[in-house]
Chain A
Amino acid sequence: MLAVIDYKIGNLQSAQKAFEFLGAKSCLTSDIQVIERASGIVLPGVGAFGKCMDSLEQSGLIPHILKQIARGVPFLGICIGFQLLFESSEESPGKAGLGVIDGKVVKLPAGEKCPQMQWNRLSVLDPTNRLFTGIDTGSWMYFVHSYFPKPTKQECVIATCDYGTTVVSAVDCNNVFGVQFHPEKSGQNGLRLLSNFVDLCE
């Protein structure tokens, strides 16, 4: 069973709907027991870094999620759920993130429309990565964001896109994956990525 974390922010259903469509066993949940037994954890979400981090803290789930990550359970952060993995964000100065991955979240460069609200092509840096099985470099994914993470360790970056600068779009830090785009809104390519994640949870 995949646990899609419900931390009472807007619009968490889309990822769950995509897993349902794929026939994967998954549920949108804030139940600690479900999370502790899950074969994989997904942290979706849209919204501001500080507000989402507040909601996650209020949910009381953080220690349980971190425990599962430490045990090696596959984890996928989507959009703000990806950014929350880092130490901090320029969007909400002073607010600490989960700190699972070293680095901080920075604003998209001036001179481009902000937010980036469009489809963009991925440069897949590591085609052998299991998250990208069947997804070629140049594949289109749907992005909606104003900030993006800059990991301290470059070697965990597995995909980028170009939006005025090289935007980190996916990382793999052992069992912790994160994507800046919305695979649940990226048509067939996105469904394939989610299906790859389901496979690596088995």
Chain B
Amino acid sequence: MRTIRIIPCLDVDEGRVVKGVRFLDLVDAGDPSKLARAYDEEGADELVFLDITASSGNREIILDVVERTASQVFIPLTVGGGIRTVEDARKILRNGADKVAINSQAVARPALISEIAGEFGSQCVVVAIDAKHVLNGSGDISDQNSWEVYVKGGRVPTAIDVLKWATECQERGAGELLITSMDRDGTKAGYDIDLMREISSLVTVPIIASGGVGEPEDFLIGAREGKADGLLAASVFHFGECSISQVKKYLLDNEIMVRL
């Protein structure tokens, strides 16, 4: 039985959740571990923390956040951001994360994927891929089924083909792919279904769809047509535009299996 996971994502800067969080009556909605607990109670199947701390001197702060969260929340936790070496991954996992997500560093040095997988197992390694359609000279999408990998938080194009990269990530030992459509991110126009479907058909590891979700129907299309195994969202949950339980009920009503 295939069950779809609903995954809220929290951006964490120097130990604080950024992008305002308006749902729930939390005393401190900026505390990632408190929010994690709230999402757990609401029925999240898994959590992703993305450490966007710019200053490398403050990178250790996330370890404390992970430790506090993992001592109280007993669902899978993925942590990404700033992981460059096996030792970086080890610290994150030691503090209670179950998986690490790597993105720019995997592109810069693809061997990092196999190094972490070799040390901790493939199930620990999520490769996050930021994908964007290639545009032609007049600014139109040149090929509906072609995307380029971007790195450094989506700022830097790499000329690497997303589908080729996704396949390589799996071959190198990634246990899961987190695919973000930069064309859709923040638009609330729904996931990039073509992108998700293409990658799903290429790889056997689970894929998590990210970027663009605006309403419960978008989650349904992501699972049904995009063939995603996990559905990630940030702002729709943070701002209470839809609740996790509401999304799950909608999916169940439409015969997509989720944990309730």
Which residues in A have some Cβ–Cβ distance to B below 8 Å? Answer: 9-11, 13-14, 17-18, 20-21, 46-48, 112-115, 117-121, 140, 142, 144-145, 161-163, 182, 184-187, 190-191
Contact = CB atoms under 8 A, between A and B. Distances in A.
B239 interface: no
Given A119-B3, A119-B45, A14 B70 contact: yes
Contacts of A144: 76, 123
Sorting the interface of chain B by its residue count into under 10, 10 to 19, 20 to 34 or 35 or more gives 20 to 34
Contacts of B206: 113, 115, 117-118
Interface stretch (B14-22, B90-98, B158-166, B188-196): B90-98
A1 B166 CA distance: 46
A162 B259 CA distance: 14
A117 B176 contact: yes
- Looking at chain B's contact residues, the main secondary structure is loop
Given A17-B96, A115-B206, A140-B259, 7 more contacts: A10-B119, A14-B98, A46-B120, A113-B229, A114-B204, A118-B45, A144-B123
A187 B74 contact: yes
Nearest to B260: A140
Contacts of B120: 9-11, 46-47
B5 A48 contact: no
Contact of B122 (A13, A115, A120, A190): A115
Contacts of A190: 74
Interface in B31-90: 40, 45, 70-72, 74-76, 90
Nearest to B175: A115
Contact of B123 (A9, A46, A187): A46
